[in-house]
Amino acid sequence: MKPLHIGIAGAGLAGRMLAWRLLRAGHRVTLLDSRRRDALDTASMTAAAMLSPLAELAVSDAVVFAMGQRSMQLWPQWVDALHADHPDAPPVYYRQQGTLVVAHAPDQSSLQHFTRLLQHKLPSAFATQVQKLDAPAIAQLEPALAGRFANGLHLLGEGQLSNEQWMAALSGVLDRLGAVWHEGVPVELLEAQRMVARNGLEVAVDICVDARGVGSKSALPQLRGVRGEVLRVECKGVQLQRPVRLMHPRYQLYVAPRPDHAFVVGATELESEDTGPVTLRSMLELGSALYSLHPAFGEARVERLSAALRPALDNDQPACLQREGVWHINGLYRHGYLCAPALVESLVQKITEQQP
């Protein structure tokens, strides 16, 4: 195999993961990103990074489900592989202990609706991954929630990771494997074998990939940004082992535990490309969902409120497609972490097959 020089515009989750897998396959990679590598205002840095193929099926389709299933096989292997490539990097928080789904007594119909929808859409081979729970079973799974919910669901096999740690680990491994990374350099033109940045930098490549998320709108007219907001808190008074989804007639929110007593509460979903700060309304919704899960969250310290745009295509499915000689990896929408390994794997294969 002849090593190729691959240029990637955009170093979010998609760009970084693709760059890493291409370097591992023996190629050379140049990355250009309009932001610094530790900027917090991208979808990848804002996400809750829950890996929820089952829960997400209620709001997605069979394509996302299949990508999610493949990714759930790849995630543990890729977390280990990244550590093997960069043993000095701090370990990445990754858990696969399922998801708990609950609803307060007045919102039981929301939980019932979610359960029926899931049972209707879920292929029968996966039916055993959805387990109904009564109050004692909830208490056994999450002792902190004992006595708070009469029933719920356990979605087996679902997972989560720390997106901040994963993105930082990718950053470290890309340096270690020799990626050339231009930070703070917006790309204005992408051609099959050329990338041109606003500052005049031109990079000649063998293959060009556009991974700019919502920044690719000029190249992909069917792309839109979907605003999402999350709240991050620190709370020593509650311990959760796994993400908890709270069903509610107006909004469905989740609380995902992170290392060091941190919790991510998310996420709003608004058909808006507003990139402004989190609104008071969203802050109250996120905060009340958290407080209603357990009153000890009343003493939680607010660490961060963040908003970002999820890049979505018309059919809400992630895609790798080629336009005028340029590859695009985009449309990761609300399933970026869930689907990225499968999507990146398929693009690496397509690029490899394209070799002369």
Ligand X SMILES: Cc1cc2nc3c(=O)[nH]c(=O)nc-3n(C[C@H](O)[C@H](O)[C@H](O)COP(=O)(O)OP(=O)(O)OC[C@H]3O[C@@H](n4cnc5c(N)ncnc54)[C@H](O)[C@@H]3O)c2cc1C
Shortest CB 65 distance to ligand X, Å: 13
Cα Rg of the chain (Å, integer): 20
- Tell me the window of 7-15, 75-83, 96-104, 289-297 that interacts with ligand X (CB under 6 A): 7-15
Shortest CB 322 distance to ligand X, Å: 17
**What residue type is 345 in one-letter code?**
E
Asked if 27 is part of the footprint of ligand X (rule: CB under 6 A), the reply reads: no
Q: What are the CB-based long-range contacts (under 8 Å, 24+) for 316-321?
A: 316/60, 316/61, 316/64, 317/61, 317/63, 317/64, 318/64, 318/67, 318/343, 319/343, 320/346, 320/347, 320/350
Judged by CB under 6 A, the chain residues 96 through 155 that form the site for ligand X are: none
Question: Of 284, 282, 285, which is closest to residue 306 (Cα–Cα)?
Answer: 282
Asked if 257 is part of the footprint of ligand X (rule: CB under 6 A), the reply reads: no
Asked if 263 is part of the footprint of ligand X (rule: CB under 6 A), the reply reads: no
Residues listed for the chain? 356
Determine the Cα–Cα distance for residues 145 and 100; give it in Å rounded to an integer.
11
Residues β-bridged to residue 228: 308
- Tell me the window of 19-27, 112-120, 273-281, 334-342 that interacts with ligand X (CB under 6 A): 334-342
Helix (H) or strand (E) holding 121: helix 108-121
Asked if 49 is part of the footprint of ligand X (rule: CB under 6 A), the reply reads: yes
Asked if 336 is part of the footprint of ligand X (rule: CB under 6 A), the reply reads: yes
- Counting residues that bind ligand X (by CB under 6 A) gives 40
Task: Out of 57, 138, 155, 332, point to the residue binding ligand X (CB under 6 A).
Answer: 332
Asked if 53 is part of the footprint of ligand X (rule: CB under 6 A), the reply reads: no
Judged by CB under 6 A, the chain residues 193 through 252 that form the site for ligand X are: 211-213, 215, 228, 230
Backbone conformation region of residue 237, classed left if phi is above 0, alpha if psi is from -120 to 50, else beta: alpha
Evaluate whether 309 touches 273 at the Cβ level (below 8 Å): yes
Shortest CB 2 distance to ligand X, Å: 27
The site for ligand X (CB under 6 A) is made up of 9-15, 32-35, 42-44, 46-50, 186-187, 211-213, 215, 228, 230, 266-267, 308, 310-311, 330, 332-338
